[in-house]
Chain A
Amino acid sequence: MPDASPIGIFIAGLLTLGIFSFLYKDNPVYKVCEAIFIGVSAAYWAVEYFYSALYRKFWLGVFPPAGSGVEADLLLWGGAILGALMLCRMIPKINWLSRWPLAFIVGATAGLYMMLFFVSNAMKQIESTMQPLIQDSLLETLGSFTIAIGTITGLIYFFFSKEHKGIFGGAAKVGIWVLMVTFGASFGYTVMSRMSLLIGRMDFLFNSWATNFGQMF
């Protein structure tokens, strides 16, 4: 596409400003940009999934190019049939068939997650918490105590089967404090992240778009 870039950058700038116009108030320009975003995103994902899953994975798997030396994987038809059943959701009379692929997705995900989360997010974390409390330096020792006490009291706070009273209530209170520190850290990082995204757009507008604008007009 010859000379696509200057026009492309110009359009990208207009779309960026169109979305930013919402900051003043909701307006038709923003709504148009939003509608374009929704339509383009949906189609983009559909095209990517068609190309990667349906063409590269399924089609070339079932019908490998002649001379490639690859054997056809006919078992892939199982996935395609399940997938096709999912589209039955749009046909009222047989929409119950769409429960089959859904059941497959839910079952497979449950089976995988059950083990992954139990091993990586429960057992490994418990193991890492059960470490010697006394470390080489004072800061690390303090940190080890914080990790042990923070994790245990945080878990106690999430234990709702027993009323938060007495020593248990006190531990739950400490748990809330630890969680508040955690949320504060997350807030600080969220600010950092959101500002980075804005800086990226500002950089585009001031550098790429403004320079391109000057060259075009």
Chain B
Amino acid sequence: MAHNLALIGLVLTGLSLIYVLYRTIAGNPVDRRVVFIYVALAAGLPLFMDLLPPVTVTPDVQALVDVLEELPPHSKVLAAFDYDPPSAPELQPMAVAFFKFAFKKKLDVIIVGLWPQGPQQANDAIATALLDSSVMAAGPIYGEDYVNLGFQSGNEFVIQRMGSGFKAMFPRDERQTPYDSIPVLQNIVNFSNIDFVMNFSSGKPGTIEWVQIAVDRFGARLGAGNTAVQAPQVYPYLRAKQMVGLLGGMSGAAEFEKALSMPGNGSIMLLSQISTHAIVILFIIIGNTAYFRTRKRKND
């Protein structure tokens, strides 16, 4: 019922744009608040629909998944969480899928954060991942299979300092357990003991700093999930093989979920993403149609 109503609502919304086109061409563009209503409808209505759009996994996402799948059980993976709640719709689905995969595959995950909110977002992602019965069955144990070392201030200087020893920057985990007493951290001194670094980033400090220091100076292997705003900036690093793969924005999250066969929020919300893209494209077309009509009229 809700699905059909939402679908009808979307179709009517699309049709009503003809009136917006007519008004704009007539030189009477609609108020910005009307545009806001269209955007709200495009983002909100698909949330009531139970339709999973077909997702194509792009090479950058597949490359990252391939590297993750090649990691043997008990590989040491450093998961750096450098984002805050505003970026959660894009990055949280990636983080949840990552934890589901890591726990099922018995990877040893070490969580750190250069943003104060990062380790908290990691805890929320773990809680969501553990709701999955197959993940729960794997039975990840805190301290033995994963650990959250918390946030440390100092931005890129933290990564720099970690190069000589993780313990210097994170002497205790977030539960105040000393570094040396945590089983999963045994024999981990610095980046040379880490098999893979997975970074979730929405700005600075984030992926760029991890590339510059952890990869280029200390030789780590890095994969990243970025907000869509940041993703275009890291493509040169991807081309230069300073990163093994990249998940960009919510569509990157949906592709990651598909590649790992772990559908989640990224896939569910993709329909809203599609409809909002459509509405922006239609508004650009309407605006430009009116512009060219007006210019032609003036030239005549």
Instruction: List residues of A whose CB falls within 8 A of some B CB.
Output: 23-24, 44-45, 48-49, 52-53, 56-57, 60-61, 68, 70, 108, 112, 116-117, 119-121, 124-125, 127-128, 147, 182, 185-186, 189-200, 202-203, 205-207
Do A202 and B40 have beta carbons less than 8 Å apart? yes
Closest chain B residue to A105, Cβ basis: B157
The reply to whether B272 and A202 contact each other, CB–CB distance below 8 Å, is yes
Q: Could you write out 30 A-B pairs with CB less than 8 Å apart? A: A52-B150, A52-B152, A56-B152, A60-B171, A60-B172, A108-B157, A116-B156, A119-B216, A120-B212, A124-B240, A124-B242, A125-B236, A127-B240, A128-B241, A186-B229, A186-B233, A189-B228, A189-B249, A191-B277, A195-B39, A195-B276, A196-B90, A196-B227, A196-B228, A200-B88, A200-B269, A202-B47, A205-B44, A206-B48, A207-B47
Query: Quick one: which of B47, B90, B116 contacts A193, CB cutoff 8 A?
Result: B90
Q: Is the interface of A mostly helix, strand, loop or mixed?
A: helix
- With A128-B240, A207-B47 known, 5 other A-B pairs at CB within 8 A are A116-B213, A186-B232, A191-B280, A195-B276, A198-B276
Q: 5 nearest interchain CB pairs?
A: A200-B89, A128-B240, A193-B228, A48-B116, A195-B276
Q: Is the CB of A199 within 8 A of B151?
A: no
B residues near A190, Cβ cutoff 8 Å: 228-229
Known: A24-B33, A112-B156. A199 touches B89 (CB 8 A): yes
What is the number of residues of chain B that contact chain A, defined by CB distance less than 8 Å? 55
A-chain residues with CB within 8 Å of residue B251 when the two chains form the complex: 192
- With A117-B212, A189-B231, A189-B249 known to touch, is A125 a contact of B273 (CB < 8 Å)? no
Tell me the smallest distance from the CB of B272 to a CB of chain A, in Å: 4
A128, B47: Cβ atoms under 8 Å? no
Contact across chains for B240 and A125 when beta carbons are under 8 A apart: yes
Shortest Cβ distance from B37 into A: residue: A23
Q: Is the CB of A57 within 8 A of B152?
A: yes
Tell whether, in the assembled complex, residue A206 and residue B47 are in contact, meaning their CB atoms are under 8 Å apart.
yes
User: Is the C-beta of B296 less than 8 angstroms from some C-beta in chain A?
Assistant: no
Report if B72 contacts A (CB, 8 A). no
Encoded as 1 (CB less than 8 Å from any A CB) or 0, chain B from 24 to 60 comes to: 0000000001001001100110011000000000000
Q: What residues on A are CB-neighbors of B213 within 8 Å?
A: 116
Question: B89 near A203 (CB under 8 angstroms)?
Answer: yes
Write out, one digit per residue, whether chain B residues 199-223 have a CB within 8 A of any chain A CB (1) or not (0): 0000000000001110111000000
B178 touches A206 (CB 8 A): no
Q: Is the CB of A203 within 8 A of B152?
A: no
Closest to B253 in A: A196
Chain B 160-176 interface 0/1 with A at a Cβ cutoff of 8 Å (1 = within): 10000000010110000
Shortest Cβ distance from A151 into chain B, in angstroms?
9
- Cβ of B16 within 8 Å of any chain A Cβ, yes or no, is no
A112 & B157 in contact (Cβ 8 Å cutoff): yes
> Shortest CB–CB separation between residue B211 and chain A, in angstroms?
6
Q: A192–B216 contact, CB under 8 A?
A: no
CB pair B171 A196 closer than 8 Å: no
Chain A residues with CB under 8 Å of B40's CB are: 198, 202
Closest to A124 in B: B240
Residues in A neighbouring B231, C-beta threshold 8 A = 189
CB pair B232 A182 closer than 8 Å:
yes
Bound complex: CA of A192 vs CA of B266, how far in Å?
13
In this complex, which of B153, B178, B242 has the most chain A Cβ atoms within 10 angstroms of its Cβ? B153
Determine whether B248 belongs to the interface, using a CB cutoff of 8 Å to chain A.
Answer: yes
Complex contacts, A186 vs chain B, CB 8 Å: 229, 232-233
List the B residue with the shortest CB-CB distance to A119: B216
- The answer to whether B273 touches A192, judged by C-beta atoms less than 8 angstroms apart, is yes
- Nearest B residue to A207 by beta-carbon distance? B47
Say how far A201's CB is from chain B's closest CB, in angstroms: 8
A182 to B231, CA, bound (A): 12
Q: A120-B211, A120-B242, A203-B89 are in contact. Are A195 and B43 (CB under 8 A)?
A: yes
